[in-house]
Amino acid sequence: MLLLAVCVLPICSAPASAGMIGQTLSWQYYAWGGPYTGVNLFTADGLPDGNFTDGSDVYFNVSAGDDWVTFDYSVATTTVPWSVSGLSLAPTIYNGIAIRLVSGSIPDIISVAIDPVTNMAGFDLSRISFTAREIQVDWQELPWDTSTIVKLDVDTAAGVPEPGAFWLIGAGLAALAVWRKRPAA
C-alpha cells in the first residue's frame, strides 16, 4: 500500500500543460495612435525570432522561451529615446510592443515580471500590462543603446495540476493512512 502512495503522488503533481516553447506567438509595434507595423509571427524556441526595423534602422531582436520574452537591443543601429506618442493600444501602449499567444496548446498567462537582467533606464512594472493571451510593453521616452535588454519573466498556468490530480493525491494519502493504522501482526 505504501508503494501505491509513493508511486501515485509524483504522477499527481505533473503540470496540466507545457509553457510557451514550440507555441506560435506574434508581436506588433504600436505608436502614433495605432499599429505601426503588421503582425509578425514567430515560434517560442529561445532563439532570436525577428527584429523591429523601420526600413533603415534596426532597433531590437525579439525572442521567447518557455517562460520568458526578451527584447535585445544589441543589433541597434540607432540609440535614442523612444518617441512621445498618444495612446496607441489601450490600456498600456503609447510607444511599444504587444506580444500575443496565437496558437498551439498555450496555457494562460497568469503573471509577468521584469527579469533582473533588464537594464533599460526607467523601465518598471507600470509599463507592462497583460491578459491571458497578450502582454503589452510600453517604452515611450525611455533611452536605449546596443547593450540594452528588456527581459520579461512570464508565468503561465503550466504549473497548475489538473483538477483530477487532487483526487489522486487524496486517494494516495488515504491509502497511506489506512496502511499506517493496520495493527501489527
| pLDDT for res 155 | 93
For range 75-93, the mean pLDDT: 90
State whether 97 and 68 are in the same domain.
yes
Q: Which three cell numbers stand for residue 163?
A: 483538477
State whether 55 and 84 are in the same domain.
yes
State whether 79 and 170 are in the same domain.
no
Look at residue 14 and tell me whether its pLDDT is greater than 70: no
| Residue with the larger pLDDT of the pair 84 and 50 | 84
Residue with cell 509524483: 10
State whether 63 and 127 are in the same domain.
yes
State whether 149 and 176 are in the same domain.
no
Contacts with 174 (C-beta within 8 Å, 6 or more apart), sequence order: none
b/e burial code for range 144-168 (CB count within 10 A of at least 16 → b): beeebbbbbebebebeeeeeebeeb
Domain that holds residue 7: 2-14+162-181
State whether 73 and 139 are in the same domain.
yes
Percentage of residues in the chain having pLDDT higher than 70? 74
pLDDT in tens, 106-116: 789 999 999 99
State whether 124 and 41 are in the same domain.
yes
pTM of the full structure? 0.75
The answer to whether residue 19 sits within a structural domain is: no
How many other β-carbons are positioned within 10 Å of the β-carbon of residue 12? 17
| pLDDT for res 163 | 52
Number of structural domains (the chain) is 2
State whether 172 and 98 are in the same domain.
no
State whether 177 and 153 are in the same domain.
no
pLDDT in tens, 120-178: 999 999 999 999 999 999 999 999 999 999 999 999 885 555 455 455 556 666 665 66
State whether 69 and 41 are in the same domain.
yes
